[in-house]
Structure 1
Amino acid sequence: MQSLSSNSPRGPPAFGPYYDNHGYQLENYPPGHIVNANAYVPYPAPYCPSAVPQYIPTVLTHTSTPAAVHLQPISSSGIVFASKAKKIVCVVISIGIILIGAVIAAIFLWKFGNCPNSGIECGTSGTCISATNWCDGISHCPSGEDENHCVRLYGPKFILQVYSSHNKSWYPVCQDDWNDHYGKIACKDLGYNTFYSSRGITDDSGATSYMKLNLSAGNVDLYEKLYNSNVCFSKTVVSLRCIECGTMTKVNQLNRIVGGTNAAPGEWPWQVSLHVQGVHVCGGSIITPEWIVTAAHCVEEPLSNSRYWTAFAGILRQSVMFYGSGYKVQKIISHPSYDSKTKNNDVALMKLQTPFVFNGIPVCLPNPGMMFEPTQLCWISGWGATYEKGKTSDFLKAVMVPIIEPWKCNSRYVYNNMITSSMICAGYLRGKIDSCQGDSGGPLVTKKDSIWWLVGDTSWGSGCAKTNRPGVYGNLTVFTDWIYQQMQVMFMFCL
């Protein structure tokens, strides 16, 4: 299935893209072999990574032993020299023991004594602050980490919630005295440099406590104006949209990635094609005019340098992209816990040098509190191969695939416990419909409450459209906080 790169009629550049079998495993069966889905052989054990990373200790491969020892008479001076040598060895050993003890103590303190008395550490600086100082409107950490993740959008209605350090909980913001000015501030704190709308809606979450504005607080930070209250006179809470996202005019129900028809204009407006030296390598999803979500395995070495990459959006055909300028990538951020062997945490961000200017619409990131059905119907799209080991498609294609419950995908007849919480299986166990090589990084989306949400990014699989080998996608619901954190950091850096 999806590999690091894709085939192309134009051939690969000198340094890539190339096939390196990233999650793309060939499984050959005898000619004429009929596969029975109910009696399918268990997933081959050699393909299953260990549940716990295995580390190989460094050991000596052999010990040299002298063949013979010739004893020589030892003079008195030799005895003195031997005695001194013994003392030196003892001193060296003692120093070594002391150093080892110090290292162990340091590790122990780092592990268990970083922040005593329930303090919280400020990122990598090592500074400890009280938990009550987080999200209080005042930066206590050297880099302001304590004020970076204090606001979020919750559920399919984009309900604005603010974290209370005093109560150590999230609360919806009451609409009383709220206006667009405060909405713009909250969007900036989320990492957006855009603002779309702010309105009051009925809160159906069952909340009995709210964050309210204290207008008499004067000209201070927004979060210093907020206080916890059990009363909301308007009986409505703030619904905040920082960007217009997730809208699309129509969906062609007959499209396929493997063996189907082409996408029509206006479909999948968030889909991008990511090129290296004029060759389509991976797909991606627009989440803001400046940010793209793709797969981390797409940007592994030797393709980790942002200057190699160009993004194309709003164009359905690859042959047309060859004549366009595209958008250059400024920065690539791979998830720090990405594992190239297991494809765990297979997600990356690309920040463009200049924002997209076109009529397309970004896809919405899934908010905390989003509830998807175990077999939620989703769509995948891309320019990947239409059959296993085939060439990339010239036309953008898409197909509907249901999410497969984790327990089914992890059964010994499918992926045998290879699927982690940061992965989603989607497709059909009977095969025939699937994403394929060249679709990597592209979107897995679903429609809920009339909005299209980015559920996953195309990650890996075994072959294309094979029985009991569905596609595997990065679980974007797990990565949303990390994505917002990166956007916040870059936004603050650019101010």
Structure 2
Amino acid sequence: MSTNARLDSSSPFTREDAERKLPPLSRSEVKPQYVHHLDSEPPPPEISPSVAHRHKDVKQRCVKFTVAAVICLLLLLLVAGILLAYYLSSPCARGLQCGDGSCVWEGQWCDGARDCPAGQDEDHCVRLRGSSFLLQIYSAQTDAWSSVCSRGWTEPQGRASCRTLGFSRGTYFKSGRQTSDSGDGFFTVRPDFNPDAFILQQLELSDSCPDNNVVTLRCTDCGSAANSSGAPGAPGAQPAPLGSWPWQVSLQLSGSHRCGGALISPYWIVTAAHCVDRVSGPGDWAVYAGIVDPSGPLFNPAHSVSRVVAHEGFDRLTRRNDIALMRLSKALDSTATGSGNIRPVCLPDVGLNFSAPQSGWITRFVRSTIGDSASQQLMAAQVSLIDAAECNSSYDGRMSQDMLCAREATEAGTSAIGDHVWGERCTEQKKPGVYGNVAYFLDWIYKQMKVKK
């Protein structure tokens, strides 16, 4: 059987053609193919026990550090809150308190500028010291009181100083000088003095003063009597001659004597709080000055009162802080009245010590009977101060620092004149009298004279 050279008579190709190699495909004809292979997840790396332990320790340390940091932060916040609360509740932790809740820096105290709303920072910066009325100024820089050098000092400075103390503009008597050492320096007058400005703004600190001559100041002609023969010679209470106690006044209600008082400036009278605390107003009062007997009110004018100020701490039960002030509507002094029978008493300056057995005088209007009527006669008696402990033994410990205790030297050894601050009459044998200590209230008096004008 013969082999057919063609596979198919109808096909134009021969076997050789079929076996012939085709030309390679061009790059454009090649189609890329993507084959997705799914590989199995590789096994986790093996961790040795020592590495795992280290990781655990680091984690625990981080937690402990974070907790400690949070606790420290909370403690800091707590401390800050406490300090802030203390700062807000104590506004004067950074200064001195004004008295109304506000405060100023310590360096602003007594600098001549009123930084407190009511000027409390300048209230107690000027004072008179001792029996010579030595003028002293407080310095916040040295935290001490210093005397004022007399070099360059004139009458206008004296008037300005009296106004700073609380006296009225027209109240001034004289300035003087004395030699005094000052270990805390001196205040000297600035060359550009302005008499209408606050006195503290016109002074500056200095380490020296020529010859150590410093200023003494008298705001009133106080303490001198027109009739120096008023001191009774015999023991016991004696009628007081006219002019012997020119500061004594009679405070009257509805034409009747209510209590006594003492003139301390042309406008101001000091008396007891228990005399005025239940009276309705200043218009009810009439003040008589320069009188010693029942005929006095007939020949002397009644002076009206514009303001009555009782001590805010007065206790009627214990009689502590038993002091009050009255301000007259018009000035009352020897210049205004032309009478030597009216003159202020000196306030006890800082540095004056009162102790047993120092002697003094008490005066009081005593009721006397003339015919069918009762009237008032001014009486005076010499007394001696006694120790507070001895006085307390007589009054069950009711004595306090704002009181003085004195015994009158009478033939019978009794106190026949004067009232206790508790309002009892001194009638018991050898029982002393208790009186208000004006020196204790000196700052209070000057403060009222300033703010109650």
For the aligned pair, the TM-score class normalised by the smaller chain equals 0.7 to 0.9
Residue 261 of structure 2 corresponds to which residue in structure 1?
A: 284
Q: For residue 110 of structure 1, report the CA deviation from its aligned partner.
A: 9.2
Q: For residue 467 of structure 1, report the CA deviation from its aligned partner.
A: 1.8
Q: Are the aligned partners of 1:256 and 1:398 in contact in 2 as well (CA < 8 Å)?
A: no
Letter in structure 2 aligned against 1:273: S
Residue 452 of structure 2 corresponds to which residue in structure 1?
A: 490
CA distance in 2, matches of 1:109, 1:256: 67
Q: Secondary structure at the match of 1:487?
A: helix
CA distance in 1, matches of 2:121, 2:314: 25
Q: Which residue of the other structure, out of 265, 268, 291, is the alignment partner of 1:315?
A: 291
Q: Flag as ranges the 4+ runs of structure 1 deviating above 6 A.
A: 108-112, 217-220
2:411 matches 1:469: no
Q: For residue 377 of structure 1, report the CA deviation from its aligned partner.
A: 0.8
Q: Are the aligned partners of 1:338 and 1:346 in contact in 2 as well (CA < 8 Å)?
A: yes
Q: For residue 206 of structure 1, report the CA deviation from its aligned partner.
A: 5.5
Q: For residue 384 of structure 1, report the CA deviation from its aligned partner.
A: 2.4
Q: Secondary structure at the match of 2:270?
A: strand
Q: For residue 310 of structure 1, report the CA deviation from its aligned partner.
A: 0.5
Residue 305 of structure 1 corresponds to which residue in structure 2?
A: 281
Letter in structure 1 aligned against 2:404: I
Q: For residue 320 of structure 1, report the CA deviation from its aligned partner.
A: 3.4
Q: Which residue of the other structure, out of 384, 387, 399, is the alignment partner of 1:405?
A: 387
Deviates further, 245-254 or 191-200: 245-254
Q: Are the aligned partners of 1:383 and 1:392 in contact in 2 as well (CA < 8 Å)?
A: no
Q: Structure 1's 144 and 427: CA in aligned 2 closer, same or farther, altered over 3 A?
A: same
2:318 matches 1:342: yes
Q: For residue 254 of structure 1, report the CA deviation from its aligned partner.
A: 3.1
Q: For residue 216 of structure 1, report the CA deviation from its aligned partner.
A: 5.7
CA distance in 2, matches of 1:186, 1:237: 14
CA distance in 2, matches of 1:335, 1:109: 34
Query: TM-score, normalised on structure 1?
Result: 0.66
CA distance in 1, matches of 2:301, 2:244: 22
Deviates further, 193-202 or 113-122: 113-122
CA distance in 1, matches of 2:378, 2:136: 38
CA distance in 2, matches of 1:218, 1:398: 46
2:443 matches 1:481: yes
Q: Which residue of the other structure, out of 393, 402, 411, is the alignment partner of 1:422?
A: 402
Q: Are the aligned partners of 1:261 and 1:397 in contact in 2 as well (CA < 8 Å)?
A: yes
What are structure 2's unaligned runs of at least 5 residues?
Answer: 1-80
2:176 matches 1:199: yes
Letter in structure 2 aligned against 1:485: K
Post-superposition Cα deviations, 1:196-253, rounded to whole Å, max 9, x if no partner, equal 11121112x6645211223268896532332222211131110011111000131444
Letter in structure 2 aligned against 1:113: S
CA distance in 2, matches of 1:284, 1:112: 45
2:141 matches 1:141: no
Q: Structure 1's 191 and 297: CA in aligned 2 closer, same or farther, altered over 3 A?
A: same
Q: Secondary structure at the match of 2:452?
A: helix
2:181 matches 1:181: no
Residue 96 of structure 1 corresponds to which residue in structure 2?
A: none
Q: Secondary structure at the match of 1:407?
A: helix
Q: For residue 264 of structure 1, report the CA deviation from its aligned partner.
A: 1.0
Q: Structure 1's 490 and 110: CA in aligned 2 closer, same or farther, altered over 3 A?
A: farther
CA distance in 1, matches of 2:164, 2:443: 13
Q: For residue 369 of structure 1, report the CA deviation from its aligned partner.
A: 0.7
Letter in structure 2 aligned against 1:344: R
CA distance in 2, matches of 1:337, 1:256: 39
Post-superposition Cα deviations, 1:82-136, rounded to whole Å, max 9, x if no partner, equal xxxxxxxxxxxxxxxxxxxxxxx9xx97999332434222222x22211110111
Q: Structure 1's 316 and 171: CA in aligned 2 closer, same or farther, altered over 3 A?
A: same
CA distance in 2, matches of 1:419, 1:110: 38
Q: Structure 1's 177 and 268: CA in aligned 2 closer, same or farther, altered over 3 A?
A: same
Residue 223 of structure 1 corresponds to which residue in structure 2?
A: 200
What are structure 1's unaligned runs of at least 5 residues?
Answer: 1-104, 441-457
2:342 matches 1:380: no
Q: Which residue of the other structure, out of 107, 114, 136, is the alignment partner of 1:132?
A: 107
Q: For residue 379 of structure 1, report the CA deviation from its aligned partner.
A: 0.8
Q: Secondary structure at the match of 1:384?
A: strand
CA distance in 1, matches of 2:365, 2:87: 47
Q: Structure 1's 313 and 221: CA in aligned 2 closer, same or farther, altered over 3 A?
A: closer
2:216 matches 1:254: no
Q: CA RMSD in A?
A: 2.8
Q: Structure 1's 207 and 133: CA in aligned 2 closer, same or farther, altered over 3 A?
A: same
Q: Secondary structure at the match of 1:482?
A: helix
Q: Are the aligned partners of 1:415 and 1:469 in contact in 2 as well (CA < 8 Å)?
A: no
CA distance in 2, matches of 1:318, 1:111: 62
Q: Which residue of the other structure, out of 128, 137, 158, is the alignment partner of 1:153?
A: 128
Q: How does 1:421-460 map to 2 (within 5 A)?
A: 421-428=401-408, 431-436=413-418, 459-460=421-422
Q: Which residue of the other structure, out of 214, 228, 235, is the alignment partner of 2:190?
A: 214
Higher helix proportion, which one? 2
Q: Are the aligned partners of 1:331 and 1:351 in contact in 2 as well (CA < 8 Å)?
A: yes
Q: For residue 343 of structure 1, report the CA deviation from its aligned partner.
A: 0.4
Residue 190 of structure 1 corresponds to which residue in structure 2?
A: 165
Post-superposition Cα deviations, 1:33-77, rounded to whole Å, max 9, x if no partner, equal xxxxxxxxxxxxxxxxxxxxxxxxxxxxxxxxxxxxxxxxxxxxx
Q: Secondary structure at the match of 1:339?
A: coil
Query: TM-score, normalised on structure 2?
Result: 0.72
Higher relative contact order (CA 8 A, sep 6+): 1
Q: Are the aligned partners of 1:431 and 1:465 in contact in 2 as well (CA < 8 Å)?
A: no
Residue 213 of structure 2 corresponds to which residue in structure 1?
A: 236
Post-superposition Cα deviations, 1:283-327, rounded to whole Å, max 9, x if no partner, equal 0000012110000000121x1411111110111113431565411
Q: For residue 485 of structure 1, report the CA deviation from its aligned partner.
A: 0.6
Q: Secondary structure at the match of 1:398?
A: strand
Instruction: Work out which of the two has the higher radius of gyration on C-alpha atoms and give 1 or 2.
Output: 2
CA distance in 2, matches of 1:346, 1:305: 18
Q: Are the aligned partners of 2:246 and 2:290 in contact in 1 as well (CA < 8 Å)?
A: yes
Q: Secondary structure at the match of 1:383?
A: strand
Identical pairs, percent: 36
Letter in structure 2 aligned against 1:482: W
